[in-house]
Amino acid sequence: MNLNGMTVAVCGSTGFVGRHVVAALTGQGCRVRALVRDREKARGALPEQGVEWVVGDGTDRGAVGELVAGSAAAVQCIGIRREFPPRTTFARQHVMTARVLTEAMRSAGVGRLVHVSALGTRPDAATKYHRSKFEAETIVRNSGLEWTILRPSLVHGADGEFMSMAKDWVLGRAAPWFVLPYFVRVEPPSGFPPAPKLVSAKVQPVHVDDVAQAVVASLRDARAVGEVYALGGPEAFDWPTLLTTIRDTLPITEKWKKPAPLPGVLGAAVATAAEAIGMGGALPFGPSEPIMATEDSVCAMDKAREHLGLRPRGFTSSLKQYAAQI
């Protein structure tokens, strides 16, 4: 499909993935209709040329209906990593936005949808995050639209939240200040004397521009209709290796901080208790994140490589290129 001149509606356009998707689409000659909640944020996040704003929230049926009217396709990038009830919840931001968008698309006669989800999404997941992502995917699958679902691993880039947070840890600007924290699985004791085994998960970081490229390629190639693509980079790391790679690549002198494991079940329990007493905002994570961080987030790229022509860039090499910009 020739994308030049096509009008594409984008939900979540000012978020980390969304703004790179908008840039990739306009780079292909698309006209983008971007759903934005904050005009000031949109001015700093989105290109000036080729982008029309529609002001509203992804759960606002009127705004979403206006967004998709006259569009040839839509891309759903809305996602949150933690909840801040009552307004910011997984049910609202993942599930309801998927329902509102697919209903608006059917009403407007817009048939093509690319939905950005997450690796690890499944109905029996241990976390509300992944279960809500799967519920949103189910809405998309049953929508009657020509859909494609993308499931990226950890998405990285100079302007991403994770890289900013990791830099703050290295510089001692955020808790726990003196170490580089990561969550681990606690496995049954072995050996003598018996001691619990702390095991780091593995993660396969994928560059945000490669995710954006996958969105563009999905719209262009008819083979992507009805497909689910896992997205990851060419390198897999355990968390200590990932964190030390970031530490050693950043243009700073504080190289002495070491990775420190924290049991994921303990982190989840602390976050749950903090939320119960109204102190959840005092922590940098919610109940889902410690558990998600203990699960491997790796994938095979064969189908994305064959159908989408995706050749993701390496984490280490791309980090060296953008480290000074974080």
| pLDDT above 80 (res 1) | no
- Low-confidence winner among 187-201, 209-223, 296-310 (lowest mean pLDDT): 187-201
Pull the structure tokens for residue 316.
């280490």
- How far apart CA 115 and CA 150 sit, in angstroms, is 6
| pLDDT above 90 (res 83) | yes
pLDDT-derived band of residue 40, with 50, 70 and 90 as boundaries?
confident
The predicted pLDDT at position 187 comes to: 87
The predicted pLDDT at position 165 comes to: 94
The predicted pLDDT at position 264 comes to: 96
Identity of residue 258: K
pLDDT-derived band of residue 65, with 50, 70 and 90 as boundaries?
very high
Cα four-point dihedral sign 39, 45, 51, 56: negative
- How far apart CA 292 and CA 297 sit, in angstroms, is 9
Q: What DSSP element (H or E) covers 115?
A: strand 112-116
Parallel/antiparallel/unpaired status of strands 155-156 and 206-207: parallel
> Using CB atoms within 10 A of its CB, is residue 55 exposed (0-12), middle (13-18) or buried (19+)?
middle
Parallel/antiparallel/unpaired status of strands 237-238 and 202-203: antiparallel
Which of 104, 114, 39 has the alpha carbon at shortest distance from 70?
A: 104
pLDDT tens-place string over residues 154-199: 999 999 999 999 999 999 898 888 999 999 999 887 766 777 889 9
pLDDT tens-place string over residues 270-290: 999 999 998 888 888 999 999
The predicted model gives 109-115 an average pLDDT of 98
Neighbouring C-alpha atoms within 13 Å toward the C-beta of 289: 17
Beta bridge partners of 207: 156
The predicted model gives 95-120 an average pLDDT of 98
Q: What DSSP element (H or E) covers 168?
A: helix 161-171
| pLDDT above 90 (res 36) | yes
In three-state form (DSSP H/G/I as H, E/B as E, the rest C), the secondary structure along 63-104 is: HHHHHHCCCCEEEECCCCCCCECCCECHHHHHHHHHHHHHHH
